[in-house]
Amino acid sequence: MSNKRYYWLKLKENFFEDDTIQWLEEQENGKEYALFYLKLCLKSLKTDGKLVRFVGEKLIPYDKAALSKMTNTDADTVVVAMNLFKEIGLISIYETGEIFLNQLAEMVGSETNKAESMRRLRIENGGGNIVTRSYPDVTKSYQNVTQSKSKSKEIDSSSQKEEKLPYKDIIDYLNERADRQFKLVDKTKTLIKTRWNEGQRLEDFKKVIDIKVKHANDTSDFFDSKYLQPSTLFGNKFDEYLNQYVADKPKKKKEGKTWQESMMEEGLM
């Protein structure tokens, strides 16, 4: 059985008390705008906050009609809401037409279906450890052995060090390859540690950075260089990026209107 991954939206208990959301709800039809925003968040969970469609290699931005249909929201409400979202910094719209939800990285939770099954099993067993509740005698014996060795473990622990994660090496490599000056902030450390706990290592981070830098340089019609940032590179699609093949091919020349011009005509920029 494939280990499918599920995603969900995590809202803090004071989400609707945030100044940005409160201001949004205070506007005329504000509650509809807030609901529309949450729907956009849900639609972009698996894509690290990016809303964009591809037909083959052709990027097709979401216009007001597509956003209206996707979220079951009135088209006029979509136009006003998108302009408000841009004004208060909830979204960015790039020249390629891609919509990026700036705060989504902090609102995403995920787990594999195997992890979900184990979690449900723990709930069914009363929330305790599965082995403990199924085999109490064995567990008790194990606990006795563990306690008898506690002193020796305390002595040995001083010589054991927690695996040191190469946070600085990774961010320095990104800055060098992408010509950026990112700081090593807690949010970036959290993303790196999450990927590290999934089994990724320094060479994997370097490979993802190399792939996406090359992709940004070679196919700028489809991937804006603004995506070369920790929140995108080290997010939920890290494994997909790691296994992405980037062919050597010349840049494609844009023809006709830019996506930015098309979005302006729709009233979204």
Q: Does residue 35 sit within a domain?
A: yes
The per-residue pLDDT for 131 is 45
Residues 126 and 236 in one domain: no
Asked, for residue 31, whether it belongs to a domain, the answer is yes
Q: Is residue 113 within 8 Å of 3, Cβ to Cβ? A: yes
Residue 65 lies in a domain: yes
Confidence (pTM):
0.44
Measured in Å, how far apart are the chain's first and last C-alpha atoms?
45
Supply 94's token pair.
């790039």
The pLDDT tens digits of the residues spanning 5-16 come to: 666 788 888 888
133 occurs within a structural domain: yes
CA distance 86 to 101: 10
Are 1 and 126 members of one domain? yes
Whether the per-residue pLDDT at 196 is higher than 90: the answer is: yes
The residue out of 115, 147, 179 marking a domain boundary is 147
- Looking at the structure, tell me whether residues 134 and 224 fall in a common domain: no
pLDDT tens sequence across 80-131: 999 999 988 899 888 778 898 888 877 776 555 555 555 555 556 655 444 4
Same domain, 207 and 113: no
Domain count across the chain: 2
Same domain flag for 76 and 191: no
Indicate whether 21 and 135 sit together in one domain. yes
Rounded CA gap, 24 and 117, in Å? Answer: 38
Q: Sheet containing 91-93: which strands, arranged edge to edge? A: 50-51, 99-101, 91-93
131 shares a domain with 16: yes
* 127-180: pLDDT as tens digits: 544 444 443 444 454 455 555 555 445 544 443 444 689 999 999 999 999 889
Instruction: Provide the 3-class DSSP secondary structure of residue 54.
Output: strand
**Listed residue (261, 212, 264, 258) closest to 235, CA to CA:** 212
Residues 25 and 117 reside in one and the same domain: yes
If one counts every other C-beta atom within 10 angstroms of the C-beta of residue 141, the result is 11
134 and 173 co-located in one domain = no
CA distance 115 to 216: 35
> Domain range for residue 214?
164-242
Shared domain for 92 and 217, answered yes or no, is: no
115 part of a folded domain: yes
Domain assignment of residue 28, yes or no: yes
